[in-house]
Amino acid sequence: RKEVEQDPGPFNVPEGATVAFNCTYSNSASQSFFWYRQDCRKEPKLLMSVYSSGNEDGRFTAQLNRASQYISLLIRDSKLSDSATYLCVVPLSGGYNKLIFGAGTRLAVHP
């Protein structure tokens, strides 16, 4: 299994849709997880941190299933401005040291 694996997409959805992204990771010792978003040729920006079973922030919900080594990100009521690449990121070895990035899932929200 790859260290961090994501469906590359693209996901093309209309405004207002609900969309979910999945991510699997191989290191069972990892304790925390992050979703970053990256706009084209820009830096990764932190979207959500996931430390326990999940986290919710407005339209965004992240869920963690440690037994299956699986993290998801749900976006409700999609906006045009949500169009970006969503990166699943796992710190290695639980020491919060180096980050292992997934290749990202591309989302395109259209009117």
Closest CA to 84 of 17, 14, 10, 5: 10
Whose Cβ is closer to other proteins: residue 68's or residue 97's?
A: 97
Q: Which residues contact 53 (CB under 8 A, 6 or more apart)?
A: 63, 64
Q: Which segment (10-18, 36-44, 60-68, 69-77) binds other proteins by CB under 8 A?
A: 36-44
Q: Map the footprint of other proteins across residues 53-82, applying CB under 8 A.
A: none
- Contact between 108 and other proteins per CB under 8 A: no
40-49: Cβ within 8 A, 24+ apart: 40/85, 44/87, 44/89, 44/101, 47/73, 47/86, 48/73
* From 9, 27, 31, 74, residue interacting with other proteins (rule: CB under 8 A): 31
Q: Is 51 an interacting residue with respect to other proteins (CB under 8 A)?
A: yes
Instruction: Report the interface residues with other proteins, using CB under 8 A.
Output: 31-32, 34, 41-46, 49, 51, 87, 96-104
